[in-house]
A and B are shown apart, each in its own frame.
Chain A
Amino acid sequence: MQQHATIVETSFTRDADLRPVRRPRGRPIHRMLVSFSAAYFAGALVTDLVYWRMPDVMWERFSIWLITAGLIMAGLATVAYVIDLAARRRIDRPAWPRAIGYAIAVLLALTNAFVHSRDGYTAVVPTGLTLSTLVVIVLVLTALVARALTNRHRFGV
């Protein structure tokens, strides 16, 4: 049953899209991991904002664990990206703007992890909070730009 469905889909794609014969197989893993890391970084911004208004250490601890989890996910996403390339799975195009934007966000988040490892209030206010905000802005901009480019060129749909 499933095999039948797959065959139908494949033939449909081929008919509709006159791209080269070699085509990606399967769903990419890295995309899900990238989404996870983005969600963690966004969560850290929320807990930072709460800490800024109400400096209870619990929120600062939430932030650093969220940032750490985001970085671990980013590391896994990088590994998965390489695997996806090797396995010739589908990569969202265009790849460059996404990869550059994501790399900038991750580097900022890494710096932020060090800032958040300071002791006390200055782990968050003002530098940590600023970096958390920047990470989210870069991720959102990257997603918007990538989507705009994708729609314009009808890449990778």
Chain B
Amino acid sequence: MMYSLKNARSAKLPRLAALLVAVAGLGLAGCDDHAGDPKMQIGANPELPALQQYLMPPMRVAKVVGWGKETPTVPEGLQVHALATGFQHPRSLYILPNGDVLVVESNGPKAPIYRPKDIITGWVQSFAGAKAKDANRITLLRDTNGDGIPEMRTVLLDHLNSPFGVALIGHNLYVANTDAIVRYPYQDGQTSIDAAGTKLTDLPGGPIDHHWTKSLLASPDGSKLYVGVGSNSNVGENGIGAEYERAAIWEVDVASGAHRIFASGVRNPTGLQWEPETGKLWAIANERDEIGPDLVPDYLTSVKDGGFYGWPYSYYGQHLDPRIMPQRPDLVATAIAPDYSLSSHVAPLGLAMYTGTGLPANYRGGAFVGEHGSWNRTPLNGYKVVFVPFSGGKPSGPAQDVVTGFLDANNHARGRPVGLAVDKNGALLIADDVGNTVWRVSGSAPKPAS
């Protein structure tokens, strides 16, 4: 009898332990973020708080609800409608000289599991629509009469390998798959390409391929291609060997396929564009995660030949990141602070320097930025298209919200903006990879006098 009594007492212990574990878990998850106002981080000199390290990094993805009958919201003087719907994860856009719109439908390669964390991350991100069925093709839309409703829709290229960047030089169409740039012959007005592509050069691909999107931009004379190659990790946790020639902007010689590193230390450069006034190369970049809701701000910057922008050793110049060992004080000393902060975790993935005439004149010369939106910050940040005014080849004021409504009142995602392009009539096109739509923002017809 005494025996069973003792048993009953000690049986409480595992339960107590289980309770303690559960309470500890809740405590960790409930940590307050104290996220600051993103407005304090817009522009040339963002406020940079002290870095913090988490026990359990926040993961907050907006639940996907779709658009239903809703459309994005635009300010007065603009109107928006769906150019086309029913895509599979449209990520980037490219306009051909005849006005045809190329929609790159793409998704990343399957991420390998290196740590238990990778299982959890993959699971959480699947809620954000990142694991949608991937088409890996380029769809062509043709709107001959310019009314914003395409009369023709064909598949230009199919069975690609996680494509993102597209660039046309003469009669050669270059497609940046995640692991190579491939050249296809293209004739004006062509609506489907059957020819097998020719590989121009390999790009850093798998097996990790953490940042898989390879953006592409041709030089004005058509002799060079610039390629945005993202890092293979958040902050070098897959080993510095995995980062060979990554977190960089490549300059590829079109004739030979040879390349050199044009700029480095840019964690995930996309949206390569020529600034119209100065002709300089500009890019947007996604900065590192897990050191706070307000670190590190994503940015828009001019890209200097030979420039080093800090990753992974430092951010915004000489702010050291303790998570990388061994450190490189020699490189950190040369690190360039980017030109313009877009605030933290907005995830810019589309850039369009506006030179058209279809939108009101105040947008001319400035930059539109597609902010895919945060997944690890409370409150959410991004999920919109902003406009950064430029003057004299440099950003000249705070970013303004232009296309919003990607989140509904409950902070559920109707869609998420990614790649941007300006069509032949000067309308802004937005790829929405969660709403699976391409939106077209144009100047509204003058209102009748009332």
What residues of chain A have their CB less than 8 Å away from a CB belonging to chain B? Answer: 19-20, 22-23, 55-58, 60-61, 64-65, 68, 78, 81-82, 85, 88, 91, 93, 95-96, 99-100, 102-103, 106-107, 110-111, 113-115, 117-123, 125
Contact = CB atoms under 8 A, between A and B. Distances in A.
A118 B114 contact: no
Given A57-B239, A61-B114, A99-B10, 15 more contacts: A19-B3, A20-B2, A78-B18, A85-B11, A88-B4, A103-B13, A107-B24, A110-B21, A111-B24, A119-B237, A120-B236, A120-B237, A120-B312, A120-B321, A120-B323
A22 B290 contact: no
B116 A114 contact: no
B159 interface: no
Contacts of A117: 115-117
Contact of A100 (B13, B28, B239): B13
A103 B55 contact: no
Given A118-B54, A121-B323, A95 B13 contact: yes
Given A22-B3, A64-B116, A99 B13 contact: yes
B154 interface: no
Contact of A121 (B9, B54, B325): B325
Interface string B52-84: 011111000000000000000000000000000
Contact of A114 (B7, B17, B55): B55
Nearest to B327: A121
B12 to A, nearest CB: 9
7 contacts: A65-B116, A96-B13, A99-B10, A103-B16, A114-B56, A118-B323, A119-B323
Contacts of A113: 116
A91 B322 contact: no
A43 B1 CA distance: 42
Contacts of A85: 7, 10-11
Contacts of B25: 110
Majority SS of interface residues in chain B? loop
A55 B53 CA distance: 19
B14 interface: yes
Contacts of A99: 10, 13-14, 17
Nearest to B114: A61
A117 B25 CA distance: 15
B146 to A, nearest CB: 48
A119 to B, nearest CB: 4
Interface in B1-59: 1-4, 6-7, 9-11, 13-14, 16-18, 20-21, 24-25, 28, 53-57
Contacts of B233: 119
A5 B107 CA distance: 66
Nearest to B10: A95
A106 B21 contact: yes
A106 B7 contact: no
A22 B2 CA distance: 10
Contacts of B321: 120
